[in-house]
Amino acid sequence: MRYVKNLLILFPLAFLPLSAEKASTLDILSVKEKVVPNVPSFFVDYRGEALKCYPIRYIDHKLGGRQIEYRCIKKDIDITPEEIDSFANNGEATGTDETERMKEEIKYKKNIGTMYTVTIAERNAYSPWKASILAKRELENGLFYRYFSVLLPAKLYISARPQYAGSKNEQGMEWKDGGSRGGFFYYYKFDSGYDLILQHEAKINWSNVSSFVNLSSNSESTRRLQYITVSKDDIGILGGKYWSPYYDIAGMTDHFMAFGSEAAGAFNDAGDGGASGTGRSNRAIQAYIGNYNDFRIRLQYQPAHHPNNGINSDYAYGLAGSFIYSGWQNTKVGASVAYGKFEQITPQMEAIGIQGNDLSYIAGISYTWKDLTLNANLSYTKNHMNDDQGIYFDGVGAELYMRYDISGTIRLAVGGNWLYPRDSSYNGRYNIRKPILSLQYTFGKKNYDDLVYIEVTSPKGHTASGESIETKVAVGLRYMFNLW
């Protein structure tokens, strides 16, 4: 038999709540747009491996009748009812949780090993014994491609995020990019027990693809993450551009599609929080302890580095730390502090409201119960947030994110962002009062990688000059391409 040409299509793995020793066969083998044939699976021995072959889809041929495509993998990886039920995973992940999900995906890939595809005529598929003989003959005599996850435990991906939303100049709706990104994630576990992770992720600039591989920190680079980490037994060190400990708390509410995450201070000065060490920190050195007596602790140090645009004094250093406690049922709470020491406070900085060093505090809570999710945080910042005119102020911020899963595919999220200056020297009228409503339809693995949404915000706040802000609407798509 000839090998099926479309074997080159590799199907992504699911982020399912299983142990690292067991992968989700269901998602590995799924072909979403086809009906799974109602024929038995069978076993075959090939090159010293005991394989189990699962029916995947029908293939219609004009000559020779209908055939059935099978995926053959290690026979000790089974589909269970629990895996089928958990396929509609309603989880969502940002920051370090997203890193952990990618790490678990690579573990699943490595556990599966080599995967083969064979085709069997439907008339022979109802006899496992006959199908096994035909499959072995095809594997031994035919050409085939292999899924070498053992040799390359990595993930190459693109998340496309087109969006139709209000324009910056308030001239109506327009098509824009809603944060498309792509990256390479590599994970390896040594026999000694040490784990190694490498990741490079960048914003997809469709007009300048070369910016994706720009390894510098210059303005033409669109990098989002770029780091290496070594760990053992939930204790590790990390170096590079990575999520700040401060984002461990601020990220609890960063789940809206278009309009959230403006009040907590993670992404200050309309940037990614890299310089201040509150978002995706630049030049970060981190140490962390995970899952120790239900505590997770991370510490961060940034050596001398450049500030945000408009500030003419470098940071001498930056410090940040966070802890999260998850020992209570369905609940986790945490807090974080981030501090940036300027080399000096210049007259130019004083003119834009910076009276001292960059300091941010935040506390947050996350609660889940059945189909309901409730996340909130409260922050206080000094010399960290600025208004639409670039003037800095000390402020109090709060963010709320509530989500209800109406079904396995439809979700409703509501919440908002609030930020108020609490600085006696600040003369502007700037504040944020932004309620947000989001309706989402998920597909694929139902874990926020693949969805369509409509999101609306009707701000009640004001610009620095006291002008009101118009209602905005965003309609968008997120789709994950797992290239490897």
Residue 354: pLDDT above 60? yes
Instruction: Grade residue 141 by pLDDT with cuts at 50, 70 and 90.
Output: confident
Residue 14: pLDDT above 70? no
pLDDT tens-place string over residues 405-447? 998 889 999 999 999 999 999 999 999 999 999 999 988 666 7
- Would strands 280-292 and 235-243 be described as parallel, antiparallel, or unpaired? antiparallel
Q: Which letter does DSSP use for residue 5 in this model?
A: G
Residue 29: pLDDT above 60? no
> Taking the alpha carbons of 26, 27, 30, 32 in that order, is the dihedral positive or negative?
positive
Question: Is 402 part of any domain?
Answer: yes
Domain boundary among 90, 117, 141: 141
The predicted structure's pLDDT at residue 37: 86
Residues 231 and 306 in one domain: yes
Residues 297 and 363 in one domain: yes
Question: Is 445 part of any domain?
Answer: yes
Question: Residue 444 class from Cβ within 10 Å (0-12 exposed, 13-18 middle, 19+ buried)?
Answer: middle
Residues 102 and 198 in one domain: no
pLDDT tens-place string over residues 224-277? 999 999 999 889 999 999 999 999 999 999 999 999 999 999 999 989 999 999
Q: Domain containing 448 — which CATH number?
A: 2.40.160.10
Residues 188 and 253 in one domain: yes
Higher pLDDT, 244 or 175: 244
Query: Structural domain of residue 407, as residue ranges?
Result: 154-482
pLDDT tens-place string over residues 277-328? 999 999 999 999 987 889 999 999 999 999 998 899 999 999 999 999 999 9
Token pair listed for 381: 């910042």
Rounded to an integer, what distance in angstroms lies between the CA atom of residue 21 and that of residue 76? 11
Instruction: Grade residue 5 by pLDDT with cuts at 50, 70 and 90.
Output: very low
Residues 344 and 321 in one domain: yes
Question: Is 418 part of any domain?
Answer: yes
- Would strands 315-328 and 331-342 be described as parallel, antiparallel, or unpaired? antiparallel
Residues 215 and 292 in one domain: yes
Nearest Cα to Cα of residue 272 among 363, 323, 331, 201: 201
The predicted structure's pLDDT at residue 2: 34
The predicted structure's pLDDT at residue 461: 94
Mean pLDDT of 437-462: 89
Mean pLDDT of 144-159: 62
Question: Is 255 part of any domain?
Answer: yes
pLDDT tens-place string over residues 53-80? 888 888 876 566 788 888 888 776 655 5
Instruction: Grade residue 375 by pLDDT with cuts at 50, 70 and 90.
Output: very high
Residues 162 and 129 in one domain: no
Residues 125 and 269 in one domain: no
The CA distances from residue 66 to 14, 34, 268, in Å, are: 30, 14, 59
The predicted structure's pLDDT at residue 138: 84
DSSP 171-218: S-EEEEE---EEEEEEEEE-TTS-EEEEEEEEE--TT-GGGGG--S-S
Residues 470 and 388 in one domain: yes
What pTM does this model have? Answer: 0.78
Residues 272 and 405 in one domain: yes
pLDDT tens-place string over residues 78-114? 555 444 344 334 457 889 988 988 887 777 666 666 6
Residues 274 and 413 in one domain: yes
Residues 185 and 129 in one domain: no
Taking only Cα atoms into account, the Rg of the chain, rounded to an integer number of angstroms, comes to: 25
Domain boundary among 84, 112, 141: 141
Question: Is 148 part of any domain?
Answer: no
Q: Are 320 and 247 in contact (CB under 8 A)?
A: no
Instruction: Grade residue 21 by pLDDT with cuts at 50, 70 and 90.
Output: very low
Q: Report the C-alpha dihedral over residues 77, 78, 84, 89, rounded to 10 degrees.
A: -10
Q: Are 108 and 23 in contact (CB under 8 A)?
A: yes
Q: Are 181 and 159 in contact (CB under 8 A)?
A: yes
Q: Are 386 and 351 in contact (CB under 8 A)?
A: no
Rounded to an integer, what distance in angstroms lies between the CA atom of residue 380 and that of residue 350? 20
Instruction: Grade residue 50 by pLDDT with cuts at 50, 70 and 90.
Output: confident
Domain boundary among 86, 113, 141: 141
Q: Are 468 and 462 in contact (CB under 8 A)?
A: yes
Residue 140: pLDDT above 60? yes
With vertex at residue 466, the alpha carbon angle to CA 437 and CA 432, rounded to the nearest 5 degrees, is: 30
Question: Is 413 part of any domain?
Answer: yes
DSSP 97-156: HHHHHHHHHHHHHHHH---EEEEEEHHHHT-HHHHHHHHHHHHHHS------TTT--EEE
Q: Give the residue carrying structure tokens 């004094």.
A: 313
Token pair listed for 418: 């609030």
Nearest Cα to Cα of residue 157 among 106, 230, 222: 106
When the pLDDT of each residue in the chain is averaged and rounded to a whole number, the result is 83
The predicted structure's pLDDT at residue 129: 94
- Counting residues of the chain whose pLDDT is more than 70, the rounded percentage is 79
Instruction: Grade residue 22 by pLDDT with cuts at 50, 70 and 90.
Output: very low
Count of domains forming the chain: 2
* Three-state SS at 26: helix
Question: Is 149 part of any domain?
Answer: no
Question: Is 186 part of any domain?
Answer: yes
